[in-house]
Amino acid sequence: MRMTFRWYGEGNDKISLAQIRQIPGVDGIVWSLHDMPAGELWSEERITKEVATIRQAGFHADVVESVNVHEDIKLGLPTRDVYIDNYKETLRRLAKAGVKVVCYNFMPVFDWTRTELYHPLKDGSNALFFEQSRIQNIDPMELIKTLSQNVDVTMPGWEPERLAKLEHTFVQYQGFTSEQLWSNLQYFLEQVIPVCEQYDIKLGIHPDDPAFAIFGLPRIITNLTNIKRLLSLVDSPYNGLSICTGSLGSINNDIPAIIDQCFSRIHFMHVRNVKRFANGDFIETSHRACDGSVDTVKVIKTLHKHGYTGYLRPDHGRHLWGEEEWARPGYGLYDRALGIMYILGVWDSLES
Ligand SMILES: [Mn+2]
């Protein structure tokens, strides 16, 4: 297992590479060009510069999260071919720069969705929260407005140019079915996976977050059955998975069973914990197994049992010790560092 940490780039992340260096066990930075609109070709200069910055700080830059998929690809519009060509060329350029794994998702309109960014926990910290009743009774535009009022950073998947077109995008998805989304995902993979094979760069799809339909938009990467279907769309090791225990844990998935059955296709792991409530709400918690609904110890044990040598990062953490004042929601420094120590603690005890 190779421990990594997600970093948003110089001037775009209040956490420095020097701080990340002090977290034990982290040898790689998970990066992206976060200002790049979905569908646009990434320039070689920008890629080279970002990789150099990361390497100069003593890390590898093997994992990119994410190269966003343009909405026209998900919708299957005739214009998708231009964006798929850009995607292929971006993959070639990333491979040439030494990138090994690219994480992406195929969720319509939204990336991850929550109803509250700073919900208080009993210990005095706060965390991302999803409340079913609020989702059912709110217009998506309202939700976005309310959430973005309190945040002065751009969250991945909530980029201004995406939000500006939100109303129009919703109209485009009216009547859109999950079978259409499957078919468009297959079309995309059939185009890009041969490039991945040729240039030795692996794709890992991120599960949908949360793992159920919201606002009437289909969500398909949600459980073992659907993950197997995804893997069979193009049966290549390059068509792989980023398993996120928090996203899959938003419903009652048996994540160790998913790891067991799909192990050879897992290229990247996100480990975090969520606590689910009987009414379907869930809140993000510490990484400890006993603090949430995901048996994170069993997840790590299962990876260890199979001899996982791929990349892993702690995912969203709670906001601790006042860091919500400056940190990107879910991406503070402290709880992710604590999460790493927990994951490594379990791993080391299995190794010893
Ligand atoms: Mn994740």
Ligand 1 centre to CA of 157 (Å) is 12
165-to-217, 277, 306 alpha-carbon distances in Å: 16, 33, 44
* Residue 267 is a catalytic residue: no
> What's the domain range around 280?
2-349
Point out the least confidently predicted range of 105-119, 148-162, 192-206: 148-162
Which entry of 208, 315, 319, 335 is annotated as an active-site residue?
A: 315
Regarding predicted confidence, which is higher, 144 or 58? 58
Helix axes 178-199 and 80-96, enclosed angle (nearest 10): 30
Which entry of 206, 267, 287, 319 is annotated as an active-site residue?
A: 206
Which entry of 70, 267, 287, 316 is annotated as an active-site residue?
A: 316
Instruction: Please tell me the predicted confidence (pLDDT) of residue 180.
Output: 96
Ligand 1 centre to CA of 230 (Å) is 18
Instruction: Please tell me the predicted confidence (pLDDT) of residue 160.
Output: 66
* Residue 244 is a catalytic residue: yes
Sheet holding 116-120, edge to edge: 116-120, 126-130, 282-285, 273-276
Ligand 1 centre to CA of 313 (Å) is 9
Two tokens, residue 256: 């160790």
Say yes or no to pLDDT of 90 above 60.
Answer: yes
Average pLDDT of span 186-190: 98
Which entry of 270, 311, 335, 342 is annotated as an active-site residue?
A: 270
Point out the least confidently predicted range of 33-47, 123-137, 223-237, 305-319: 123-137
Ligand 1 centre to CA of 208 (Å) is 9
The CA-based angle 183-189-192, given to 5 degrees, is: 145
Q: Among candidates 346, 352, 332, 334, which has minimal Cα distance to 7? A: 332
Overall number of domains in the chain: 1
Other C-beta atoms closer than 10 Å to the C-beta of 21 total: 12
Instruction: Please tell me the predicted confidence (pLDDT) of residue 121.
Output: 92
303-to-257, 267, 268, 335 alpha-carbon distances in Å: 11, 12, 11, 22
Ligand 1 centre to CA of 247 (Å) is 6
* Residue 335 is a catalytic residue: no
Residues within 5 Å of ion ligand 1 by Cβ? 244, 270, 315
Say yes or no to pLDDT of 27 above 70.
Answer: yes
Two tokens, residue 107: 């969720």
* Residue 270 is a catalytic residue: yes
Regarding predicted confidence, which is higher, 77 or 112? 77
Ligand 1 centre to CA of 124 (Å) is 24
CATH of the domain at 256: 3.20.20.150
Instruction: Please tell me the predicted confidence (pLDDT) of residue 217.
Output: 87
Ligand 1 centre to CA of 152 (Å) is 22
150-154, Cβ contacts within 8 angstroms, sequence gap of 24 or more: 150/117, 150/118, 151/117, 151/329, 153/12, 153/328, 153/329, 154/34
* Residue 319 is a catalytic residue: no
pLDDT tier, 115 (very low <50, low <70, confident <90, very high otherwise): confident
Per the document, the length of the chain is 352
Instruction: Please tell me the predicted confidence (pLDDT) of residue 216.
Output: 82
Give the pLDDT confidence of 136-177 residue by residue, as tens digits: 777 777 777 666 666 555 555 566 666 777 778 888 888 899
Q: Which residues, in sequence order, are CB contacts of 10 under 8 Å at separation 6+?
A: 53
SS3 (DSSP) at 275: strand
Ligand 1 centre to CA of 78 (Å) is 30
Ligand 1 centre to CA of 245 (Å) is 7
Which entry of 83, 87, 331, 342 is annotated as an active-site residue?
A: 331
Q: What is the DSSP letter of 127?
A: E
Whose tokens are 């260096």? That residue is 21
Kindly state the percentage of the chain with pLDDT values over 90.
80
Ligand 1 centre to CA of 58 (Å) is 24
Helices (H) and strands (E) in the chain, counts: 14, 12
Give the pLDDT confidence of 200-230 residue by residue, as tens digits: 999 999 999 888 888 888 999 999 999 999 9
Torsion of CA 282, 285, 288, 289, to 10 degrees: -10
Instruction: Please tell me the predicted confidence (pLDDT) of residue 131.
Output: 87
